[in-house]
Every structure is written in structure tokens, then in C-alpha cells.
Amino acid sequence: MRSPIAAEIDYEAEGKQSGYLRLPHSVHRSAYGWIPIPIVQIKNGDGPTLLLMAGNHGDEYEGQVAVTRLAKDLQPEMLQGRVILLPMANFPAAKAGYRTSPIDDGNLNRSFPGDPTGTVTQVIAHYIESVLMRMADYAIDLHSGGSSLHYVPTVLYGDREDPQEMAEVLRLTEAFAAPFALHYRRSGDIVSTAAARRQGAIAVTVEMGGSGTVTPYALKVTQEGIERVMVELGMLQKTDLSEPIKTRILRLTGKHNYVYARQDGLFEPSAEIGEDIDADQTAGWIHKPEAPWEDATEVVFPITATVLCKRIPGRVQPGDCLYQLGQDDTA
């Protein structure tokens, strides 16, 4: 079924265009209204199509800033091919600064392939997969740790069955030149990279910073990573990029790559992102200020690994993620 979303831009036209993806939304205050999802396209001749998507989760800001900057700075004469820029993919969530949509509580990166007759978030997911991903040769979904986590800049990529496709995924990963990459088994079918895979696009996800803010270092890595990928794809000529670092590839193998709170309290972490840790090393303590006479509960790391992200809010409850860990790819 065709999407109800109408684009204000012509995807086949040359030059630079901007406008909205208009998602019909009839509510009490606006009977014939629509949700304005901003989109920018820059096209110059033949070449690859790259989809750059941020705001998949609305409280993740580095990608939104990087894509917004690129939308202003990139001109057609600088480009070979086509770039589609989506700075606020889940617009209601991004506008509110929430991980999920305040309209339907939808998590866009758990909603693919979407549904053109479903909720607002499902309709957005359906359009991204059936229209934008279908046009794309390559895609980068820009994330961060949001309000609850902070990541060391990391590229995430999953296995591809086709060796040529896997080589292209590694090509994007190496070109982005983040300090770390996290290699995981094939992802579930409900995330953006699965949408790309179904539509024949080569895609990676990046996790850049977080803490519900924009950090200069993570933003710099994000902006330069995008530019490096475009240079690698032959879409952009740029010579003033800093010398790339060699990406350290880590692996995500199972539930032992996560450390969770198992009780209420205030979490005091003892490790920083990017730090190498050992199995059974102290990860932190959960304190009980409401019962200060009780001992704090020690939390330990389950494996020898590297800390990729850690929790930011101090108040925790059972099930809250405290750390994500990556193991060396040879482990």
C-alpha cells in the first residue's frame, strides 16, 4: 500500500531542495493538519545516493546537529551524486526531545518495516523503508546514548550473508574512522539497518556521545566521519580532513556484554567509556540514601572487555542498563 506521506521535494531533480514530508494528522486543534518532517536533498549528476538520517530517537542530538550543518553547508557543485538528509526522522520525538514519540510512544528504531495504515511512528518507518531506503545505495543512521547513556564514538555493524555486501559495510566502517566499531550478529528485522538490508542499501549505525547534550568531540567525529564516507564513495572532494585513526573493532556476542542494575538506588560508576576492564572487576556501587545504614551493593563486570557506553542518570531501578561492553574481535 502507498504511503500517505507526501514529499514537497522532487527526488529526481538536480540541485538543492528543502521542504517537508507531510504526514496527515487530524487532531482536535487541527482537523486537516499534517506533521512536518524536514528533509533536504542535494543532487548533482550521476553517482551514489547516500541517506543520512538523524533524530531516529529524539533525544540524541549529535547526529541532528551534524545533519543540519551539512544541509546548510553542502552545495550541489561540491557533490557528485545525491544526498538525502533527514535530521529529525521521528519528528514528534525529536521536537519533544524524547527517545520515543509523545504521540504514540513509538520507538522508530523498533518499528520497521512500518505500516502505512498504522500509528504515526509506523507510518514514518514505512516511508523511510519503502521510499528513502529504496532509493539509497548507502545509509548512515546517526545515534547517540540519548538522555540515559553516553557512548564513546562507535560504529555499529552487523553480519551480511553476501561477502560483497559485508565488504561494503566494512568499507563504510573503516572510512568513518571512529575510535571503535562494534561488530554484532545480524540484527533483528525491526531496526533501520534491517530496513536498508531489505531494500538493497549498505548501512551502518553510529553511536556518538549522548548524555542528553551535544559534546564537541563526538560532534567532530560525527561530522568528519560523514565527510570521510562521502570522500570514500567518490561523492565529495575534500582535502582538509584530519589524519584518520585506526578503528578498534570489538564484538558483541551476548547478554554478558551488558551490565544491568538489579535494585533501586543511586549508582556510583567506577569505570569510564573507552576503558579496558577485567572480568569480576568492580563496575560500581548502588547506594541506598533512604537507608544510609545499609551497605552499598557492589556491581561487577561479567567479562574482560572495553566499556563502550555507561549510564548517565544516577537514580536506577532493576533493569536499567549501566554499561555496554565490547570484546576484542579475536575473543
- In a structure prediction context, what are the per-residue pLDDT tens digits for the chain, which is 331 residues long? 899 999 999 999 999 999 999 999 999 999 999 999 999 999 999 999 999 999 999 999 999 999 999 999 999 999 999 999 999 999 999 999 999 999 999 999 999 999 999 999 999 999 999 999 999 999 999 999 999 999 999 999 999 989 999 999 999 999 999 999 999 987 679 999 999 999 999 999 999 999 999 999 999 999 999 999 999 999 999 878 888 889 999 999 999 999 999 999 999 999 999 999 999 999 999 999 999 999 999 999 999 999 999 999 999 999 999 999 999 976 4
| pLDDT for 187 | 66
Query: What residues contact 48, with CB distance under 8 A and at least 6 apart?
Result: 81, 82, 137, 138, 233, 234, 235
Cell numbers for 285: 556501587
Neighbours of 122 (CB within 10 A): 19
How far from 55 is each of 24, 81, 111, 175, 299, CA to CA, in Å?
20, 24, 14, 22, 33
Stated as kind and residue range, the H or E segment containing 228 is: helix 216-232
For the chain, which domains are there? 6-251 (3.40.630.10), 255-328 (2.40.50.100)
Neighbours of 234 (CB within 10 A): 11
| pLDDT for 244 | 85
In angstroms, the CA 107 to CA 122 distance is: 9
What's at 177, amino acid-wise? A
50 forms beta bridges with 83, 138
Give yes or no for a contact between 90 and 58, defined as CB atoms under 8 angstroms apart: yes
- In degrees and rounded to multiples of 5, residue 31 shows phi and psi of -60, -40
In angstroms, the CA 161 to CA 130 distance is: 22
pTM score: 0.96
Residue found by looking up cell 556501587 in the block:
285
Neighbours of 28 (CB within 10 A): 5
Neighbours of 330 (CB within 10 A): 6
